[in-house]
């Protein structure tokens, strides 16, 4: 891959993604797949004035061995070292970067129930730390190609060619052009205009219909707003881009207001396994029925993770004709596939999708209808013939999506 393009990508991640401030600490979580690129990102963070950059390497085969051989008790334990790391994040508000390169099937064969029980046991311990830093620090998820991931996406190519082709797709969809920073500024301005239009109407609900069987209505929060593109931290007021790439305009729905059937249009990679050809039925906001051709048991465990896992936390609007979808590539990776077309998310909602959210505590946000869960999992429902109509409290109907794309 062209080194100049990779350098631009590294600068985009450090400068526009994280927007590292002078004196800030940075933590990078990544696999072993692209160490040279990770080194580029580390250097760019230092050039922006980072006080320190800590790289936490991981390797999915080792993760799989841990899940296979460790007992439920040891997997469920949050060690003193982990607690100290979480406390340091609260105290220092370090930037956090995830560079995703994981194999979509990397945890196949592991015990779904053991992993779910371990996550459920750890959640009450970690939750207070997460709540303490919510919306107060810069974070970013971006991607680099891993060999196993590339082979999954391009199974007919030799592995080195597959990695190169996945690099090309990542850079293209992440808008790494001659001037990627300027292109991202333009892109964020476009998303802001979409949000402005939607927020003007204060929609009560959205109605989805598609020929694949989706016939679904979701209620929106009366205090809710649509967001998109970059975000701004509370307190320090630092603008950053949490997802590279992103195409979405999103909000958090009203807990308890979702009715009908949703048919997923892309596989879901969850806990290192693929859930394929699945659907949900909602009543009073909650998943009451589901089905899947592959890994149905994992889907059932996912929605029963905790009390909020069967409720929606996010509604996201993305044109079917998007840079990601236009590639014709199924990435088997949520960061990309969720930005290929419209999606929903089960689980935790977003406080910052409430107007003047900084005035409310986490508990008050829950009382206002923001769903609470340890889970937040996106799944795709956008299709080429998707229709979405926004309906106001007064009954005015506005066509938002027609034939899978924006109608305005």
> Is 276 contained in some domain?
yes
Main-chain dihedrals φ then ψ at residue 164, nearest 5 degrees: -65, -40
pLDDT of residue 272: 84
Is the full-model pTM beyond 0.75? Answer: yes
Classify the C-alpha dihedral 30-310-298-384 as positive or negative: negative
**pLDDT, tens only, 37-54:** 999 999 999 999 999 999
Same domain, yes or no, for 302 and 223?
yes
Domain assignment of residue 69, yes or no: yes
Q: Which of 113-117, 165-169, 397-401 has the lowest mean pLDDT?
A: 113-117
CATH number for position 133: 3.40.1830.10
Same-domain pairing of 124 and 261: no
Query: Which of 97, 98, 89, 78 lies closest to 129, judged by CA?
Result: 89
Asked whether residue 344 falls in the same domain as residue 250, the answer is: yes
Q: Are 72 and 214 contained in the same domain?
A: no
Indicate if 386 and 270 belong to the same structural domain. yes
The verdict on 9 and 139 lying in the same domain is yes
Model pLDDT for residues 159-188, shown as the tens digit of each residue:
999 999 999 999 999 999 999 999 999 999
Judge whether 29 lies within some domain. Answer: yes
Phi/psi region, residue 227 (left: phi>0; alpha: psi -120 to 50; beta: rest), is beta
> Of the residues 173, 190, 218, which one is the last residue of a structural domain?
173
Q: Is residue 97 part of a domain?
A: yes
* Count of structural domains within the chain: 2
Q: Are residues 154 and 295 in the same domain?
A: no
* Residues 357 and 286 occupy one common structural domain: yes
pLDDT tens digits for 264-320? 999 998 988 899 999 999 999 999 999 999 999 999 999 999 999 999 999 999 999
Is 195 domain-assigned? no
Domain boundary pick from 120, 153, 173: 173
The whole-number pLDDT of residue 223 equals 96
Would you say residue 190 lies in a domain?
Answer: no
What mean pLDDT, rounded, does the chain reach? Answer: 96
Same domain, 228 and 142: no
Q: Is residue 279 part of a domain?
A: yes
Tell me what the mean pLDDT of segment 220-243 comes to. Answer: 96
Last residue of a domain, one of 132, 156, 173: 173
Is pLDDT of 1 > 90? Answer: no
Domain region containing 349: 202-239+246-403
Grade residue 133 by pLDDT with cuts at 50, 70 and 90. Answer: very high
- Residue 197 belongs to some domain of the structure: no
> According to the model, what pLDDT value does residue 305 have?
92
pLDDT reported for residue 327: 94
Residues 234 and 136 sit within 8 Å (Cβ to Cβ)? yes
Interval 312-354: pLDDT, tens? 999 999 999 989 999 999 999 989 998 999 999 999 999 999 9
Annotate the chain with three-state secondary structure. CCHHHHHHHHHHHHHHHHCCCCCCEEEEEEECCCHHHHHHHHHHHHHCCCCEEEEEEECHHHHHHHHHHCCHHHHHCCCHHHHHHHHHHHHHCCEEEEEECCCCCCCCCCCHHHHHHHHHHHHHHHHHHHHHHCCCCCEEEEECCCHHHHHHHCCCCCHHHHHHHHHHHHHHHCCCCCCHHHHHHHHHHHHHHHHHHHHHHCCCEEEEECCCCCEEEEEECCCECCEECCEECCCCCCEECCECCCCCEEECEEEEEEEEEEECCCCEEECCEEEEEEEEEEECCEEEEEEEEECHHHHHHHHCCCCCCCEEEEEEECCCCCHHHHCCCCCCCHHHHCCCCCEEEEECCCHHHECCHHHCCHHHHHHCCCCCCCCEEEEECCCCCCEEEEECCCCCEEEEEECCEECC
221 and 336 fall within a common domain: yes
Q: Is the pLDDT of residue 99 over 90?
A: yes
253-283 core/surface letters (b: 16 or more CB in 10 A; e: else): bbbebbbbebbbbbbbbbbbbbbeebbbbbe
209 and 164, same structural domain? Answer: no
Instruction: Assess whether 314 and 166 both reside in one domain.
Output: no
């Amino acid at each position: 891959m062209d080194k100049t393009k990779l350098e631009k990508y590294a600068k985009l991640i450090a400068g526009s993604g994280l927007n590292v401030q002078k004196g800030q600490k940075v933590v990078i979580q990544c696999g072993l797949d692209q160490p040279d690129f990770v080194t580029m990102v580390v250097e760019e963070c230092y050039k922006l004035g980072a006080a320190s950059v800590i790289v936490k390497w991981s390797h999915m085969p080792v993760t799989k061995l841990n899940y296979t051989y460790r007992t439920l008790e040891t997997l469920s334990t949050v060690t003193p070292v982990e607690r100290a790391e979480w406390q340091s994040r609260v105290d220092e508000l370090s930037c956090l970067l995830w560079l995703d390169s994981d194999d979509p099937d990397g945890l196949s064969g592991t015990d779904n129930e053991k992993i779910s029980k371990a996550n459920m046991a750890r959640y009450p311990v970690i939750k207070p730390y997460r709540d303490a830093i919510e919306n107060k620090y810069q974070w970013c998820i971006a991607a680099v190609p891993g060999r196993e991931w590339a082979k999954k996406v391009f199974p007919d190519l030799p592995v080195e060619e597959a990695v190169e082709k996945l690099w090309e797709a990542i850079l293209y969809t992440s808008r790494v052009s001659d001037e990627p920073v300027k292109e991202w500024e333009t892109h964020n301005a476009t998303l802001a205009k979409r949000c402005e239009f939607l927020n003007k109407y204060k929609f009560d609900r959205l109605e989805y219909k598609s020929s694949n069987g989706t016939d679904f209505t979701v209620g929106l929060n009366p205090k809710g707003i649509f967001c998109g593109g970059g975000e701004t931290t509370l307190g320090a007021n630092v603008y950053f881009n949490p997802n590279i790439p992103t195409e979405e305009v999103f909000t958090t729905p009203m807990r308890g207001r979702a009715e009908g059937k949703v048919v997923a249009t892309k596989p879901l990679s969850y806990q290192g396994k693929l859930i394929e050809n699945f659907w949900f039925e909602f009543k009073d906001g909650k998943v009451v029925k589901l089905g899947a051709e592959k890994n149905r048991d994992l889907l059932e465990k996912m929605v029963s993770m905790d009390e909020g896992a069967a409720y929606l936390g996010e509604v996201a609007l993305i044109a079917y004709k998007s840079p990601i979808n236009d590639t014709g590539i199924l990435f088997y990776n949520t960061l990309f596939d969720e930005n290929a077309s419209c999606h929903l998310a089960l689980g935790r909602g977003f406080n910052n999708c409430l107007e003047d959210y900084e005035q409310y505590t986490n508990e008050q946000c829950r009382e206002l209808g923001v769903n609470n869960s340890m889970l937040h999992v996106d799944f795709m429902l956008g299709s080429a013939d998707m229709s979405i109509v926004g309906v106001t409290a007064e009954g005015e109907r506005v066509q938002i999506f027609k034939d899978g794309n924006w109608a305005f």
